[in-house]
Amino acid sequence: MFEHYSIKKIRTIIHIGTLFVALTTSAYAQANETKQKVYELRTYHTYAGKLPELQARFRDHTHSIFKRLGMRVATYWVPLHEPDASNTLIYIIEHDSEADAKQKWQSFMQDPQWIAAYQASIVKGKLVESVDVVFMQKADFTQNL
């Protein structure tokens, strides 16, 4: 009877230990994954009167190409107040790393569907005057939000 109890106890300890290791490993992997993610903040400044055309290009072409290429956009924003409200489009893309971002942007710029959409959209003149790009990582306290 005593031997049977000890084996059960040992098995329980092994199961608890295995569970602890699995949970710890999972938490560590998630923490590393969060730290490895890179977020790209992109702010497009259009020429006067061109914001609606830029928005149409994103709505009708760019976003679907992003999705096809695995470029994960959080969302798109437009400022509420002037002087930026009439000429600014902002969005954030999540990447696995800066190298991942570079590879995906290269694929995007060489994509025949993108090239055709871009060429068609600038027939009456270029839409974008400048683009600001900032690469970011989540702050360590983000998990508490």
Higher local confidence (pLDDT), 88 or 31: 88
For the chain, first and last CA: distance in Å?
Answer: 52
What's the topology of domain 37-137?
A: Alpha-Beta Plaits (3.30.70)
Per-residue confidence (pLDDT) for residue 34, from 0 to 100: 47
Under a CB-based contact definition with an 8 Å cutoff, are residues 42 and 91 in contact?
yes
- pTM exceeds 0.85 for this model: no
Reduced 3-state DSSP string for 43-80: EEEECCCCHHHHHHHHHHHHHHHHHHCCCEEEEEECCC
Q: Average pLDDT in the 57-61 region? A: 97
Domain boundaries, the chain: 1-36, 37-137
Cα 57 to its chain centre, rounded Å, is 20
